[in-house]
């Protein structure tokens, strides 16, 4: 049986109200021979981990709360079990990510890009879902990225694919709310090949936003 080449990484903290539905939709949409799904439960005080373990996915737990801590816990577990993983696909654990958007990101990676970012601001219909504050903040931070690394971005979206070699090279250190922006700046600074692809942004199924909701 072929081993999976891609790991879908989903950080989750207190997402018991939606993690089951998110994983059920994702499991139904991807090829299990090509993808492994890993949930990084970080600092949760609810049944997120127990509900995730009822699905055919990997579940890693860490007491350290933070987006990056959740991602890294899931990555470490995945690498231990599947050392041949080529790239990591990062997705939201709240239902905002449409699983159908994974396919074009993977296709771009297989064409030779090291880093493929799913841009929500490039699709006008997402503007009804994202608040004005959210849109303005992402645009401003994208420009700030450009000032720091010479490569502006249109979004700081959670949906992205990063090649394993690049991920290990940039060695992210910001393990809380800066995880996503550090990855983009670091990738540009080391000369990685980067592209942005328009993706959908759906309303979260339940619970509270813990990253973009931070002021």
Angle, CA of 35, 40 and 44, to the nearest 5°: 150
Q: pLDDT by residue (tens digit) across 21-44? A: 999 999 999 999 999 999 999 999
For residue 109, is pLDDT > 90? yes
Q: For 83-146, what is the HEC assignment?
A: CCCCEEEECCCCCCCCHHHHHHHHHHHHCCCCEEEEECCCCHHHHHCCCHHHHHHHHHHHHHHH
Please, what is the average pLDDT of the chain?
90
pLDDT digits (tens, 9 = 90+) for 133-169: 776 777 778 778 878 888 888 888 899 999 999 999 9
pLDDT of residue 77: 98
Predicted confidence (pLDDT) at residue 125 exceeds the cutoff of 70: no
């Amino acid at each position: 049986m072929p081993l999976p080449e891609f790991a879908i990484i989903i950080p989750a903290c207190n997402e018991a109200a939606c993690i089951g539905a998110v994983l059920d939709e994702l499991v139904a949409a991807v090829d299990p021979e090509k993808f492994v799904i890993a949930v990084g439960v970080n600092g949760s005080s609810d049944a997120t981990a127990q509900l995730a373990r009822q699905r055919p996915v990997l579940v890693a737990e860490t007491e350290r709360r933070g987006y990056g801590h959740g991602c890294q816990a899931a990555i470490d577990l995945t690498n231990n079990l599947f050392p041949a993983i080529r790239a990591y696909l990062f997705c939201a654990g709240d239902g905002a990510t449409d699983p159908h958007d994974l396919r074009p990101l993977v296709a771009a990676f297989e064409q030779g890009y090291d880093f493929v970012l799913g841009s929500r601001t490039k699709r006008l219909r997402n503007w009804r879902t994202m608040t004005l504050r959210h849109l303005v903040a992402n645009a401003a931070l994208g420009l700030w990225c450009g000032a720091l690394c010479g490569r502006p971005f249109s979004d700081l979206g959670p949906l992205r694919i990063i090649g394993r070699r690049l991920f290990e090279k940039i060695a992210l250190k910001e393990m809380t709310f800066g995880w996503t922006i550090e990855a983009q700046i670091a990738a540009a600074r080391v000369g990685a090949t980067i592209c942005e692809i328009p993706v959908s942004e759906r309303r979260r199924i339940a619970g509270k936003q813990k990253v973009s909701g931070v002021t």
